[in-house]
Chain A
Amino acid sequence: GNSVTQMEGPVTLSEEAFLTINCTYTATGYPSLFWYVQYPGEGLQLLLKATKADDKGSNKGFEATYRKETTSFHLEKGSVQVSDSAVYFCALSVEGAQKLVFGQGTRLTINP
Chain B
Amino acid sequence: KAGVTQTPRYLIKTRGQQVTLSCSPISGHRSVSWYQQTPGQGLQFLFEYFSETQRNKGNFPGRFSGRQFSNSRSEMNVSTLELGDSALYLCASSGQPNTGELFFGEGSRLTVL
Which residues does A use to contact B, with CB under 8 Å? 32, 34, 36, 41-46, 49, 89, 91, 93, 96-105
Encode contact with A along B18-35: 1 for CB under 8 Å, 0 otherwise: 000000000000010101
B interface residues, how many (CB within 8 angstroms): 28
Contact A98 B100 (CB under 8 A): yes
- Chain B residue, CB-CB nearest to A4: B42
Contact A99 B97 (CB under 8 A): no
Assuming the contacts A32-B100, A34-B100, A93-B100, asked whether A98 and B105 have C-beta atoms less than 8 A apart, the reply is no
- Chain B residue, CB-CB nearest to A34: B100
- Chain B residue, CB-CB nearest to A46: B101
Nearest-CB distance from A89 to chain B (Å)?
7
Contact B104 A98 (CB under 8 A): no
- Residue among A45, A89, A98 with the highest chain B CB neighbour number at 10 A: A98
The number of residue pairs between A and B whose CB atoms lie closer than 8 Å in the complex comes to 67
8 additional contacts, CB 8 Å, given A43-B3, A43-B104?
A: A34-B100, A46-B101, A91-B100, A98-B33, A100-B33, A100-B35, A100-B100, A104-B42
Q: Please name all residues of chain B whose beta carbon is closer than 8 Å to the beta carbon of A100 when the two chains form the complex.
A: 33, 35, 43, 45, 100, 102
- Chain B stretch 64-105: residues in CB contact (< 8 A) with chain A: 90, 92, 94, 97-105
Contact B100 A49 (CB under 8 A): yes
Top 6 A-B pairs ranked by shortest CB distance?
A: A96-B98, A43-B104, A93-B100, A102-B43, A44-B104, A99-B56
Nearest-CB distance from B24 to chain A (Å)?
13
Nearest-CB distance from A74 to chain B (Å)?
19
Contact B99 A96 (CB under 8 A): yes
Q: Please name all residues of chain A whose beta carbon is closer than 8 Å to the beta carbon of B35 when the two chains form the complex.
A: 100, 102
